Amino acid sequence: MRGLDRQSADLSRAHVQLLRDVMEGRLSRRAAVKRGISLGLSTTALAGLLTARRTPRVSARQDSPLAGKTIDMTILGIAGWPPSQLGVTLAMEGFKPYAKETYGYDVNFSFEESPFDQLFQKAAASLSTGSAQYNIIISDSQWLGALAEPGWIVQLNDIIAQNPELQIEFVEAAQQGYRIYPDGSDQIWGFPQEGDTIALYVRQDLFTNPEEREAYKAANNGEDLPQTFEDWEEVDIDRFERIVSFFHRPDQGLYGTSLQYSKVYDFISCYCYPFMFSTGGEIWEGDVGSYRVEGVLDSETNAAGLARCKDFVKYGPEGVTNYGIAEEVDAFTSGSLATCLQWSALAFQMLNIDMNNPDQPADPSKPINRDMVLVTVPPGFRQADGSLRRTYTLGGQPWVINAFNDEDHMQVAIDFMKWWYQPETQAEFARRGGNPTDKATLSRPDFDTLQPHFRAYRYMLEGNSRDFWHDPNYSEMLAVQQEAFSAYVTDIEDDPMDALRYAACEQQRILFDNGRTDVEPSDSCADVTLG
Amino acid sequence: MAQLGTQIESVAGARRIEATQPRLSRWRALEESRLFPAVLVLPILIFFLVWNIIPLLWLLGVSFYRFKLTSAQPEQYIGFENFRRLWESSVYWGTLGRTLTFMVCSVGLATVLGILLGLLFWGSARMPGRRLALTLLFTPMILPPVAVGTFYRLIYDPTFGVLNYYANRITGKTYDFLGDKELAFWALVAVDVWMWTPFMTLMTLAALGSVPKAELEAAEIDRLPWLKRLWYVVLPHGKFILMLGILLRTIDAFKTTDLVYLMTRGGPGNRTELVGVTLYRQGFEAFQMGNASAMAVIALLIAIAFTSIYLYVLNYRETRAALR
């Protein structure tokens, strides 16, 4: 494009020069005519090219009903969650000039934020009054039902049908997790903002240390410590336990591993679910009107899974039953964990990478840097046929659009989504540590090497992660489950089945009371309490 | 000239008086009117009506409905169904029991410590630095619970918390104060006691200050033992203020939410889940406004019951004496 502009300027200069030469009598008439014709042809060709180049932009600008206006957009996102912030940063840096250039309007973005466990409350309090205070919301995937059911967010099927730029192919987990409600339907409510999966962060400096390897071999009949991504692909949960128990040295301030056992929000559910999902457990069955939790969640398989999840408490630091996202980042980056199960979206924080300057550590005083850590796949679960299965919990968030937006804000939201999924935008998002979910970006040949965590992230996203309920009663169902799981891992409840039974009975009651199922909790639920 | 000036001034003064006369008389008329007390009370009455009575009635109304904010269904009148469910819910009774235990322990300990500290400061009127010590003592009370909760979460932290540092040096063990099923509840009680003991100290000092000096001097002259002096001289005068303090603290402890929410979120399991936290969860996490309103109504009734019990105890001796 710049070449055309340069040629256009050159031609203008040639025109002036020709005129000057003719007027000053420096050219013969014949030479002047010859140069005039050639200049005329060049000018016509260039004019054609320039017109061809500019026409779509001019027409888009003219077509946009917002041309000349200034629109202020507010995005509500998750506080302290880098992908949310990154979305807004990119919007300001990238979409603002793009909108001016392409559509001819000015747009400003402001960011409202709230922690994970309070974001929905903040959004719901505003949306329930019909407010367009937050034009675009970065919601958690499980809230889709709660936002869609009262009509607070826009159903996107028609918008997608009218805008070919939004007909993007996403990986299946993202399509089902971040977009669809009710499950199994074709109703689309969200656009994936950030994909996320659980990854295993490994202190590679410890694992490759020859003395550690020899000591481990000696203690484990010659079995070596996993060294590469491929080695970790073969690690099952039993071997993982052997590894973390080997590195568990509280007297040296080193602990084997950490899972998020905190009662806050969905932490313990997300980190104990893989022990159930990967061993064949389910959390409910049926469809709207016939949901059944009792007898499904409180199964023997899930009880064994929950018990296995608790087994790893003893390899964590003191207070690990209160560990959530931030506590894990602190413990890992301070060098006190040999391994850690954590969201891949936190890779930059876990590896102590400066987001603005990825080659530099974010905090040089911390003992961890990117060269010391391998981000790999979490352990698998051995199946009856000997194969390994990984079904971990899907994290990540979709963008959803406020249904109370006026026409102008709605149009900007749609324009923004079109821009967000442009290959260049997604590439920039990935370059800065964001996790894309569209197949085009994920299938780039260099994708796995773009960021330290991308290989593990893609591995887990493509067939090894799944989401849980999108039901409008999500928060209530989650609260009782968090209470039950937390009670079990903190020894308030001794039997995992009792904890699951409590959660199952309460969830069945919640669904029944709210008209989501005709299946009443059984009579035996009346006697079920916790602790 | 000076005389002339005085005359001019007195004329001007007389004119000013004449000008304000009708206004004063109007004011006097209003003052003498039967409506005057009502006019004075009206602003606070309006305030009370708008901010207390109407929301209270609204709350009572909502408690009879199935009303979920995130549901597409319209609210539905269900009578006493929300109350019936709470009555039958063993989980809710458990929470209520826990809250009462918290209230009794927290208020009881704060009262005992507060009275002891109050007596200590009362008896050391000439102690150097007394004023500074009192100011420092009252600091926890004026701190916002959000800040206290955050501080204590860090203080209790098993990895880098200062309390664990000393506990480890003394016992050689590390304690997960907020994650341990046996310790978490008492860790919360300790924070609440730390925060509110100064309030009880303040009330004790106020109660002691209300005792007539003459009676105290008489007790001293009669060489009344210390305990008897407290029982027969101080308590009859100071008990009202002290009971008021206990009453306020009881109601406040029953409502405790912010501290628990910040420190434990009701965990581990449900070991520190108090009524306030459950209510908040129902209202602002589950958006079950009907159910949350029913819980709030019950909490209100319990608070009223406590107030009545205290007032009855407070007036018991007088009532008995009057009956005789």
Residue B105 belongs to domain with CATH number: 1.10.3720.10
- Characterize B164-181 residue by residue with b for buried, 16 or more Cβ atoms within 10 angstroms of its Cβ, and e for exposed: beebeeeeeebbbbbbbb
Handedness of CA A256, A275, A145, A529 (dihedral sign): negative
Q: What mean pLDDT comes out for the span A24-49?
A: 49
For Cα atoms A351, A355, A359, give the angle at the middle one, nearest 5 degrees.
70
For Cα atoms A418, A422, A427, give the angle at the middle one, nearest 5 degrees.
140
- A1 band by pLDDT with thresholds 50, 70 and 90: very low
pLDDT at B229 over 50: yes
Residues written for chain A? 531
Q: DSSP alpha helices (H): ranges in B172-274? A: 184-209, 213-221, 226-228, 235-254, 258-263
What pLDDT, on a 0 to 100 scale, did the predictor assign at position B307? 85
Residue finishing a domain among B77, B104, B122? B77
Enter the pTM of the model. 0.82
Q: Pick the more confident residue, B6 or A365.
A: A365
Does B27 touch chain A if contact means CB atoms closer than 8 Å?
A: no
- φ, ψ of residue B64 in degrees (nearest 5): -95, 10
Q: Pick the more confident residue, A83 or A208.
A: A208
Tens digits of per-residue pLDDT, B39-96? 889 999 999 999 999 999 999 999 999 998 877 778 899 999 999 999 988 889 999 9
Q: What mean pLDDT comes out for the span B130-144?
A: 91
Residues of A in contact with B68 (CB under 8 A): 514
Residues of B in contact with A262 (CB under 8 A): 267
Residue A142's SS3 state is helix
Could A321 and B157 be called an inter-chain contact, meaning their C-beta atoms sit closer than 8 Å?
no
- A456 band by pLDDT with thresholds 50, 70 and 90: very high
Do both B47 and B102 map to the same domain?
no
Query: Quick check: is B37 in a domain?
Result: yes
| Closest to B189 in 3D by CA, of B278, B279, B93, B109 | B109
Residues of B in contact with A124 (CB under 8 A): 69-70, 287
Q: What mean pLDDT comes out for the span A87-107?
A: 94
Most B CBs within 10 Å: which of A181, A254, A266, A321, as the mutation test of the B interface?
A321
What pLDDT, on a 0 to 100 scale, did the predictor assign at position A148? 95
Closest Cβ opposite residue B181 in set A149, A492, A529:
A492
Tens digits of per-residue pLDDT, B156-197? 998 889 999 999 899 988 899 999 999 999 999 999 999 999
User: Contact, A296 vs A282, CB < 8 A?
Assistant: yes
The per-residue pLDDT of chain B, averaged, comes to: 88
User: Contact, A484 vs A500, CB < 8 A?
Assistant: yes
Neighbouring CB atoms inside 10 A of B222's CB total: 10
- B22 band by pLDDT with thresholds 50, 70 and 90: low
Amino acid, single-letter form, for residue A347: A
Could B273 and A483 be called an inter-chain contact, meaning their C-beta atoms sit closer than 8 Å?
yes
CA distance A173 to chain B (A): 26
Nearest CA in chain A to B173: A318
Closest Cβ opposite residue B181 in set A150, A476, A491:
A491
Does B84 touch chain A if contact means CB atoms closer than 8 Å?
A: no
Does B306 touch chain A if contact means CB atoms closer than 8 Å?
A: no
Could A530 and B270 be called an inter-chain contact, meaning their C-beta atoms sit closer than 8 Å?
yes
Residues 6+ apart with CB under 8 A from B313: B243
pLDDT at A417 over 70: yes
DSSP symbol at A346: G
| Closest to B158 in 3D by CA, of A509, A250, A317, A141 | A317
Query: Quick check: is B281 in a domain?
Result: yes
Residue A123 CA to residue A399 CA, distance in Å, equals 13
pLDDT at A43 over 90: no
- HSE-up (13 A, CA, CB side) for residue A378: 27
Could A317 and B94 be called an inter-chain contact, meaning their C-beta atoms sit closer than 8 Å?
no
What pLDDT, on a 0 to 100 scale, did the predictor assign at position A529? 85
Tokens encoding A60: 């888009």
| Closest to B245 in 3D by CA, of B210, B197, B316 | B197
Could B176 and A491 be called an inter-chain contact, meaning their C-beta atoms sit closer than 8 Å?
no
What pLDDT, on a 0 to 100 scale, did the predictor assign at position B324? 63
Does A33 touch chain B if contact means CB atoms closer than 8 Å?
A: no
Residues of A in contact with B289 (CB under 8 A): none
What pLDDT, on a 0 to 100 scale, did the predictor assign at position A434? 94
Could B179 and A322 be called an inter-chain contact, meaning their C-beta atoms sit closer than 8 Å?
yes
What pLDDT, on a 0 to 100 scale, did the predictor assign at position B30? 77
What pLDDT, on a 0 to 100 scale, did the predictor assign at position A229? 98
Do both B145 and B215 map to the same domain?
yes
Do both B133 and B232 map to the same domain?
yes
Do both B27 and B176 map to the same domain?
no
Residues of A in contact with B69 (CB under 8 A): 124, 128, 150
Do both B189 and B280 map to the same domain?
yes
Could A151 and B73 be called an inter-chain contact, meaning their C-beta atoms sit closer than 8 Å?
no
Does A259 touch chain B if contact means CB atoms closer than 8 Å?
A: no
Tokens encoding B1: 């000239």
Does B271 touch chain A if contact means CB atoms closer than 8 Å?
A: yes
Most B CBs within 10 Å: which of A486, A506, A516, A520, as the mutation test of the B interface?
A486
Does A86 touch chain B if contact means CB atoms closer than 8 Å?
A: no
Tens digits of per-residue pLDDT, A324-342? 999 999 999 999 999 999 9
Residue B103 CA to residue B274 CA, distance in Å, equals 10
| Closest to A196 in 3D by CA, of A378, A427, A355, A434 | A434
Do both B135 and B217 map to the same domain?
yes
What pLDDT, on a 0 to 100 scale, did the predictor assign at position A35? 56
Does A316 touch chain B if contact means CB atoms closer than 8 Å?
A: no
Residue A327 CA to residue A312 CA, distance in Å, equals 16
Q: Tell the burial category of A170 from Cβ atoms under 10 Å away from its Cβ (0-12, 13-18, 19+).
A: buried
- HSE-up (13 A, CA, CB side) for residue B314: 17
Could A319 and B91 be called an inter-chain contact, meaning their C-beta atoms sit closer than 8 Å?
no
Residue finishing a domain among B24, B48, B77? B77
Pairing of strands A373-376, A381-382: unpaired
Query: Quick check: is B136 in a domain?
Result: yes
Do both B250 and B210 map to the same domain?
yes
Which residues, listed in sequence order, are joined to residue A44 by a DSSP beta bridge? Answer: none
Do both B195 and B307 map to the same domain?
yes
User: Contact, B208 vs B238, CB < 8 A?
Assistant: yes
Q: Which of A31-35, A336-340, B298-302 has the lowest mean pLDDT?
A: A31-35
> Long-range contacts made by residues A491-495, C-beta under 8 angstroms, separation at least 24?
A491/B181, A492/A530, A492/A531, A492/B181, A492/B268, A492/B269, A492/B270, A492/B271, A493/A530, A493/A531, A493/B269, A495/A303
Which range of A58-72, A118-132, A375-389 scores highest in mean pLDDT? It is A375-389
Residue A202 CA to residue A372 CA, distance in Å, equals 8
User: Contact, A199 vs A343, CB < 8 A?
Assistant: yes
Tens digits of per-residue pLDDT, A228-285? 999 999 999 999 999 999 999 999 999 999 999 999 999 999 999 999 999 999 999 9
Residue A369 CA to residue A373 CA, distance in Å, equals 7
- A46 band by pLDDT with thresholds 50, 70 and 90: very low
Most A CBs within 10 Å: which of B76, B178, B273, B287, as the mutation test of the A interface?
B287
Which residue range(s) make up the domain with B179? 88-323
Listing DSSP states for B231-243 in one string gives: IIIIHHHHHHHHH
What pLDDT, on a 0 to 100 scale, did the predictor assign at position A253? 93
- B285 band by pLDDT with thresholds 50, 70 and 90: confident
CA distance A149 to chain B (A): 6
Could A321 and B176 be called an inter-chain contact, meaning their C-beta atoms sit closer than 8 Å?
yes
User: Contact, A84 vs A91, CB < 8 A?
Assistant: no
- φ, ψ of residue A50 in degrees (nearest 5): -65, -40
CA distance B103 to chain A (A): 21
Is-cis flag, bond preceding B225, omega within 30? no
Closest Cβ opposite residue A492 in set B68, B176, B271:
B271
Residue A37 CA to residue A48 CA, distance in Å, equals 16
Do both B192 and B108 map to the same domain?
yes
What pLDDT, on a 0 to 100 scale, did the predictor assign at position A276? 98
Which residues, listed in sequence order, are joined to residue A70 by a DSSP beta bridge? Answer: A106
Closest Cβ opposite residue A319 in set B70, B157, B285:
B157
- A25 band by pLDDT with thresholds 50, 70 and 90: low
Residue finishing a domain among B43, B77, B111? B77
Could A322 and B270 be called an inter-chain contact, meaning their C-beta atoms sit closer than 8 Å?
no
Do both B10 and B125 map to the same domain?
no
Tens digits of per-residue pLDDT, A420-429? 999 999 999 9
What pLDDT, on a 0 to 100 scale, did the predictor assign at position B4? 54
Residue A33 CA to residue A17 CA, distance in Å, equals 14
Query: Quick check: is B177 in a domain?
Result: yes
- The number of distinct structural domains making up chain B is 2
Do both B72 and B92 map to the same domain?
no
What pLDDT, on a 0 to 100 scale, did the predictor assign at position B34? 83
Does B181 touch chain A if contact means CB atoms closer than 8 Å?
A: yes
Residues of B in contact with A151 (CB under 8 A): 72
Residue A325 CA to residue A342 CA, distance in Å, equals 7
Query: Quick check: is B83 in a domain?
Result: no
Could B72 and A492 be called an inter-chain contact, meaning their C-beta atoms sit closer than 8 Å?
no
Could B269 and A493 be called an inter-chain contact, meaning their C-beta atoms sit closer than 8 Å?
yes
Query: Quick check: is B69 in a domain?
Result: yes
pLDDT at A64 over 50: yes
Place of tokens 């010859």: A34
What pLDDT, on a 0 to 100 scale, did the predictor assign at position A359? 87
CB pairs under 8 A between A and B: 110
Residues 6+ apart with CB under 8 A from A281: A299, A301, A302, A305
Does A313 touch chain B if contact means CB atoms closer than 8 Å?
A: no
Do both B12 and B152 map to the same domain?
no
CA distance B87 to chain A (A): 12
Query: Quick check: is B82 in a domain?
Result: no
Residue A293 CA to residue A505 CA, distance in Å, equals 8
Residue A90 CA to residue A136 CA, distance in Å, equals 14
The per-residue pLDDT of chain A, averaged, comes to: 89
pLDDT at A441 over 90: yes
Residue B225 CA to residue B229 CA, distance in Å, equals 6
HEC profile of A409-470: HHHHHHHHHHHHCCHHHHHHHHHCCCCCCEHHHHCCCCHHHHCCCHHHHHHHHCCCEECCCC
Tens digits of per-residue pLDDT, A288-324? 999 999 999 999 999 999 999 999 999 999 999 999 9
Closest Cβ opposite residue B269 in set A125, A146, A483:
A483
